[in-house]
Amino acid sequence: MTTIESPVSSRDLAAQDSTPAGELREHQKAFHSFGKLVLFAALHITLTLVCMALGFVGQMPLLALILGLGGTVALVAAFAISS
Euclidean distance between CA atoms 69 and 62, whole angstroms: 11
Residue 55: pLDDT over 90: yes
Residue 72 lies in a domain: yes
Asked if residue 64 is part of any domain, the answer here is: yes
| Domain-embedded: residue 35 | no
Domain count, the chain: 1
The pLDDT score that the predictor gives to residue 45 is 98
Residue 5 resides in a domain: no
The 10s digit of each residue's pLDDT in 9-42 is 555 555 555 678 888 999 999 999 999 999 999 9
Domain of residue 75 covers 44-83
* DSSP annotation string for 51-77: HHHHHHTSS-HHHHHHHHHHHHHHHHH
How many Cβ atoms from other residues are within 10 Å of residue 51's Cβ?
Answer: 22
- CA-atom Rg of the chain in angstroms: 22
The predicted pLDDT at position 79 comes to 93
pLDDT the model gives residue 11: 57
Whether 28 is in a domain gets the answer no
Q: Report pLDDT for 5.
A: 59
d(CA 56, CA 50): 10
pLDDT at res. 9: 59
Residue 75 inside a domain? The answer is yes
In a domain, 66, yes or no: yes
